[in-house]
Amino acid sequence: MLVAIGSDHGGFRLKEDIKQYLTEKGIEFQDFGTHSTVSVDYPDISRSVAEAVAGAKCDRGIIICGTGIGVCIAANKVKGIRAALCHDTYSAQMSREHNNANILTMGERVIGFGLARAIVDKWLAAEFAGGRHEKRVCKIADLEI
Q: Which residues are catalytic?
A: 65, 98
- The CA–CA distances, whole Å, from 103 to 7, 23, 56 equal 13, 19, 12
Helices H / strands E in the chain, number of each: 6, 5
CA distance 139 to 123: 22
